[in-house]
Amino acid sequence: MKFELSNVYQEWLEKMIEQNESLAIQQSLQDIYPADISSVLYEFNAEKSKYVLDLLKKEVSAEIISNLEEDVRKKFLKNFSSTEIASYLDYVDSDDAADILNEQPVLVREEVIAHMTDQEKASHIVDLLRYDEDCAGGLMAKELMVANVNWTVVQCIEEIRRQAEKVEKIYSVYVVNDQGFLLGRVSLKKIILASDQMKIADIYDPDVISVETYRKDDEVAAIMRKYDLEAIPVVNVQRKLLGRITIDDIVDVIAEQAEQDRQLMSGISENVEEHDSVWTVTRSRLPWLIIGMVGGMLGASFIGLFEKDLIIIPAMAFFIPLITATGGNVGIQSSSMVLQTLANKTSLGNGFYERFIKMLLVALVNGVVISALVFIINFIFGQSPQLAIVVSISLFSVVLLSSFMGTFTPIVLNKIKINPALASGPFITTANDIIGLAVYFGTSRLLHSIF
Residue range 333-372, pLDDT digits in tens? 877 777 766 666 555 555 556 767 877 888 889 889 988 9
Residue-wise DSSP of 106-120: HHHHHHHHHH-S-HH
Decide: 332 and 424 in contact? Cβ < 8 Å: yes
Alpha carbon of residue 193 to chain centroid:
40
Does 262 map to a domain?
A: no
Taking only the tens place, the pLDDT of each residue in 394-418 is: 889 888 888 888 888 887 777 777 7
Could you tell me the residue range of the domain that residue 187 belongs to? 145-246
**CATH code for position 132:** 1.25.60.10
User: 140 falls in which pLDDT band (50, 70, 90)?
Assistant: very high
- C-alpha closest to that of 430 among 299, 280, 313: 299
Number of domains in the chain: 3
pTM above 0.75, yes or no: no
pLDDT band at 271 (very low <50, low <70, confident <90, very high): low
pLDDT at site 196: 87
- 320 within some domain: yes
Q: Are residues 117 and 238 in the same domain?
A: no
CA distance 271 to 147: 42
Last residue of a domain, one of 202, 225, 246: 246
Burial pattern 183-218, b for ≥16 Cβ within 10 A else e, equals bbbbeeebbeebeeebebbebbeeebebbbbebebb
> Both 426 and 360 in a single domain?
yes
- Residue 199, pLDDT score: 93
**Could you read off the pLDDT of 52-92 as tens digits, one per residue?**
998 999 889 999 998 888 888 888 898 899 999 999 998 88
Last-in-domain residue among 104, 139, 174: 139
Last residue of a domain, one of 110, 139, 168: 139
Going by C-alpha positions, the residue among 364, 351, 369, 346 that lies closest to residue 402 is 364
HSE at residue 233, side-chain half, CA atoms within 13 A, is 26
Closest among 336, 304, 330, 334 to 421, alpha carbons compared: 336
pLDDT at 1 exceeding the cut of 60:
no
Bridge partners, 231 (sequence order): 246
The enclosing domain of 212 has a CATH number of: 3.10.580.10
- Flag whether 154 is in a domain: yes
